[in-house]
Amino acid sequence: MQFSPAGLALLKSSEGFRSHEYRDAAGLPTIGYGHKCQPGGGFPAGIDEHYAGIILACDVDDAEEAVIHLVKVPLTQGQFDALVDFVFNLGAGRLAQSTLLRDLNAGHYDAAAEQLKLWDHAGGVELAALKERRKAEFNLWNSGVTL
């Protein structure tokens, strides 16, 4: 399974494009479409949208692989897309340790979907942008074919 155009649209809309490094909601150095910069691996001159798209494709591949590795039950395209966006935003470690994943792998799809909505905080503060992103992931999760 691969990230769909609908999933990519959500991700790009949620992240937005920035040509120069900035600090994300968690205070991490970020550039392009939400790419986390590695220490000493920044982009002092910035990047253009084309290069940001190349980086994004690599980051999405990593998120897809994490979802494929962690999830042990069948997924619809919408569920897969929602999880890839979640992992892109929060990291595979957060998914791996989550009640969301435990519920999902136990076959409790509705409970797992509800868990998405709880991940709307950064630094202990609820953020409107994260609340909207989780709502969009929830809607994507529930779109299309059911299992």
Q: What is the pLDDT of residues 116-143, one digit of tens each?
A: 999 999 888 999 999 999 999 999 999 9
The DSSP line for 28-54 is: -EEEETTEEPPTT---TT---HHHHHH
Q: What is the mean pLDDT of residues 49-66?
A: 97
Sequence-distant (≥ 6) Cβ neighbours of residue 30 within 8 angstroms: 18, 21, 22, 23, 24, 36, 37
Per-residue pLDDT at 147 exceeds 80:
no
**Domain architecture of the chain: domains with CATH:** 5-137 (1.10.530.40)
Which pTM was predicted?
0.94
The pLDDT tens digits of the residues spanning 63-121 come to 999 999 999 999 999 999 999 999 999 999 999 999 999 999 999 999 999 999 999 99
Residues annotated as catalytic are 15, 24
